[in-house]
Homo-oligomer: A and B are copies of this chain.
């Protein structure tokens, strides 16, 4: 089920048989000369919605803006400060937990989100920890490229120039889902440089077209379709395992 296309009574019914929900979470940020600004929230949304079509999964609305301060030198990027992001994640989680969800699974599309999401989880758990009580729900963060079999497939598809930002794999996924929005552009060097991530001005100076270590022109919709198929299958397994976990 897609939560946003359901009624509250349908969710109330669902809760009688399942306490698990998947939240696609990403970022709206520059993705190099050919990547869409929405890439990092579109990818987990595409995978989760496809999984919902193939399996039995409740998918929440997509959390589409995240920790992207380093990309603010490129127009179109929208970023939450980590402190804001943590508060917002906390409110989403407390809302879902208030309805009885006990397993809240964040399918993430942006590496830059990971630290802040984990810090947010700790902040949420901490309330219970200071009080010496059980929290009553469990949180899980999974990057879509860490789903079983996905990264090894991407490395077979793109043995050189996969890189870490504006990668051909993420762009391929959006090409598969949004074939009308496939972009072309010249860029050089073929494989972008790598290095540290600091403030936005530093980032744009180091990575002038926004790519990090990648050669995104290798992306094709077909490769995107293969990646989605693998990710969907592993996501369904991973969510099933999480849903089945019991408290110690």
On A, residues with C-beta under 8 Å from B are 3-12, 15, 28, 30-38, 41-42, 60-65, 67, 69-70, 72-84, 86-88, 90-92, 94-96, 98-100, 112, 114-116, 118-120, 122-123, 125-126, 128-135, 138-139, 178, 181, 183, 185, 195-196, 198-202, 205-206, 210, 247-248
Question: In chain B, what residue has the closest Cβ to A89?
Answer: B84
Contacting residues, chain B, for A99 (C-beta < 8 A): 72, 75-77
- A to B CB contacts below 8 Å, 27 in the list: A3-B38, A4-B36, A4-B42, A7-B33, A7-B183, A8-B77, A11-B76, A38-B61, A60-B78, A69-B126, A69-B129, A70-B125, A70-B129, A72-B132, A79-B126, A80-B92, A81-B126, A82-B120, A83-B83, A83-B123, A84-B84, A84-B90, A115-B122, A116-B122, A119-B119, A129-B201, A135-B199
Judging by beta carbons under 8 Å apart, are A84 and B88 in contact?
A: yes
Judging by beta carbons under 8 Å apart, are B28 and A122 in contact?
A: no
Q: A92-B65, A135-B199 are in contact. Are A8 and B75 (CB under 8 A)?
A: yes
Contacting residues, chain B, for A134 (C-beta < 8 A): 199, 201-202
CA distance A198 to B132 in the complex (A): 13
CA distance A133 to B73 in the complex (A): 10
Judging by beta carbons under 8 Å apart, are B8 and A130 in contact?
A: no
CA distance A202 to B121 in the complex (A): 14
Question: In chain B, what residue has the closest Cβ to A117?
Answer: B115
Nearest chain B CB to A122's CB is how many angstroms away? 5
Judging by beta carbons under 8 Å apart, are A95 and B114 in contact?
A: no
Judging by beta carbons under 8 Å apart, are B119 and A200 in contact?
A: no
CA distance A15 to B74 in the complex (A): 12
